[in-house]
Amino acid sequence: MGVKRNLTIQLDADLIRRAKVLAAERGTSVSGLVTQQITELIEARDRYISARQSALEMMTAAVDRGGRRWTREELHAERH
């Protein structure tokens, strides 16, 4: 993970109280809760970016299977 540094944030007093209760229930600290949530957010974003890149690469490499090509006007006419 690397060198840890401090981060100061301001939260509503009730939110802090509730976070402390939750942290105690989970056997961790508020800092631990924040670290876990931020880590999960970053990992989810990284998975999304990777999946998006893979999908774009697959679409770019896709083989044209032939078939009919529709014009914008034809597609629009089909809807109405």
Count H helices and E strands in the chain, helices first: 3, 0
CB atoms within 10 A of CB 2: 4
Length of the chain: 80
Residue at 1 is within a domain = no
What is the pTM assigned to this prediction?
Answer: 0.70
Residue at 78 is within a domain = no
Confirm if 21 and 11 have CB atoms less than 8 A apart.
no
Q: Which residue, among 24, 31, 26, has the nearest Cα to 9 in the 3D structure?
A: 31
Q: Domain containing 42: what range?
A: 7-61
**pLDDT tens for each residue of the chain, 80 residues long:** 789 999 999 999 999 999 999 999 999 999 999 999 999 999 999 999 999 999 999 988 887 777 778 888 888 886 65
Residue at 73 is within a domain = no
Residue at 46 is within a domain = yes
Specify the number of domains making up the chain: 1
Reduced to 3 states, what is the DSSP secondary structure of residue 11? Answer: coil
Residue at 48 is within a domain = yes
Residue at 66 is within a domain = no
